Amino acid sequence: MLKVDFKLLRNEALRDIILALEEALEKIGIDYYLIGALARDAWFQQEKIVSRTTADVDFAILVPQKEKFEELKTFLAREKGYVETKGNSFAMISPGGITVDILPFGSIEIDEELNKANGEAQVVTNGFKEVFSAALEQFESEDGQLRIKIASLPGIVLLKLIAHQDRPEIRIKDPGDILEILHYYFDLHSGLIYEHHDSVFDDEQPLEMISARVIGREIGKIVSENPTLRQRVNTYLTTEIEKQENGSLIRLMQRST
C-alpha cells in the first residue's frame, strides 16, 4: 500500500482534518476521497518530489441524499468546531484556520445548477463520479493508523481540466498544476508505462510528451462510461489547442514555467 507522511506534506494539520472528516462521514454513512493539490503532493511524495506549498484541502464526498450534506456540515460545526464560510456553501474553516472544500457528488452535485436546461436536469459532467469509480488509490499513514482514498494523477488532471474550463478566471493555478504532473508523471509511473503503454515509445519524444499521451489514455478509461463527459473533454482540449497561447489553458501553462 502507498504511504503518506503528513510531515513531509508540510501540513500536519491535515491528519486532524481527515480524522474529523472520517468520524463525521462514518457516523453519517457517506464515502469520500482526497482531490486537489494535496492529493497531487501525496503522489509526488512517493519519489520525494517537492512541489509548491499549498494550503488547499479538497474532499469529494459521495452524498446519497441532499440532507446528508447538511447533516455533515452541522456535525462538523457542532462537534468539531468548524465554521461555515460566507458565500460558499461547499467550504468550511477548520479550528486551525484551514479552508476545507467539501465537494458533493451523487444525488447532489456541486455543479447541478449548471446542468439544467428547460427545467430538466442534464448529464452531470464534473467527473467526480467517474474518478470515484475508476481512479482511486488507497494510501496509508506512516504509522499505519490512518487510511485514505486519493484520486489518481490522471483523475486529478481530469478534475482540474474541468474545473478550469468552468471557471478559468478563478482556477488560474490548475494549468500549472497539470503541467507539473506531466513533468513528473513518468518518474512516478514508469512501470505502468513500460508494461501497458509501450506503444508510446514508437518515436523519440520528451518524457513529458509520453506522459501526456499516457495520461490522456488513462483519462479516456475514466470517462469511457460517460459519453457526454468524454465529448466535453475532447471538445475542450481541441478548442484550447486551436487557440494556442490565446487560450487560457496553454497561456497559463506557459506562465507557470
Kindly state whether residues 134 and 26 are assigned to the same domain: yes
CATH of the domain at 10: 3.30.460
182 and 100: one domain? no
Residue 147 domain boundaries? 1-151
Residue ending a domain, choose from 151, 180, 202:
151
How many other CB atoms are there within 10 angstroms of residue 150's CB atom?
23
Same-domain check for residues 108 and 163: no
Domain end (from 99, 118, 151): 151
Domain-terminating residue out of 151, 166, 185: 151
The pLDDT tens digits for 151-203 are: 999 999 999 999 999 889 989 999 999 999 999 999 999 988 888 888 877 76
Grid coordinates in use for 88?
460558499
Residue 152 burial (C-beta neighbours within 10 Å; 0-12, 13-18, 19+): buried
Per the structure, how many domains does the chain have? 2
Q: What is the pTM of this model?
A: 0.89
Q: Indicate if 100 and 206 belong to the same structural domain.
A: no
Q: Is 76 found in the same domain as 18?
A: yes
If asked whether residues 137 and 164 sit together in one domain, one would say no
pLDDT in tens for each of the 257 residues of the chain?
Answer: 788 877 666 566 777 888 888 889 888 888 999 998 889 988 998 988 877 666 678 999 998 788 888 999 999 999 999 999 888 888 999 998 889 999 888 866 655 544 444 444 445 678 999 999 999 999 988 777 788 899 999 999 999 999 999 889 989 999 999 999 999 999 999 988 888 888 877 767 888 999 999 999 999 999 999 999 999 999 999 999 999 999 999 999 999 88
Statement to judge: residues 220 and 143 lie in one domain: no
d(CA 168, CA 161): 10
On whether both 169 and 197 belong to a single domain, the answer is: yes
Q: Domain check: are 83 and 160 in the same one?
A: no
Residue 17 and residue 36 in one domain = yes
The Cα 91–Cα 87 span in angstroms is 9
